[in-house]
A = this chain, B = another copy of it.
Amino acid sequence: MNNVSSKTLDYRSTELLKKKHLSITESRKKILSIFLETKDALAHGDIEKKASEKFDRVTIYRTLQSFVEKGLIHSIPTSDNSVRYALCKDCTEGHHHDDHVHFVCSNCEKTICLDDVVSPKLNLPQGYNADNVQVVIHGVCIECS
């Protein structure tokens, strides 16, 4: 990572934090920068690994939680125990509308948001009302195929 892109990341994270009414702290900027420079979804452990300096585990937990609350990132459903997070495109506090498709590559194990593929409308049985449709597709991603 060179200085220029690092400065840009810092600037972008600061702007995003301001926009979402979160106070600007070093940890938050760093953690948000990790999301900004990563295309795929991150689990708690990935953040620990990717962070150049060491953050306290607890700080990461609390930061992720605030980010989710303020609509900066969203969690992605998985079938195992790992919770993964990715940047929200345009969610607002208390209202997530990340109705896009998530793709999990069975080869490289990465989880990718396919922002352009929107969740389909489905015909549910009488009496069921959908608020939110999450789709997780398992398969082979473009880099592994």
| A contact set with B: CB distance below 8 Å | 75-81, 83, 101, 103, 106, 114, 116-117, 119-120, 122-142, 145
Evaluate whether A139 and B130 lie within 8 angstroms (CB atoms) in the complex, with A114-B124, A125-B114 already known: yes
Nearest chain B CB to A26 CB, angstrom units: 27
B83, B131, B137, B141: the one contacting A81 at CB < 8 Å is: B83
A120 pairs with B117, CB closer than 8 A: no
A117 touches B106 (CB 8 A): no
Determine the chain B residues whose CB is within 8 A of the CB of A76 once the complex forms: 79
Whether the pair A137, B127 counts as a contact (CB closer than 8 A) is: no
Given A77-B136, A83-B81; A141-B116 close (CB under 8 Å) = no
B103 touches A128 (CB 8 A): yes
**Residues from chain B with Cβ under 8 Å of A83 in the complex:** 79-81
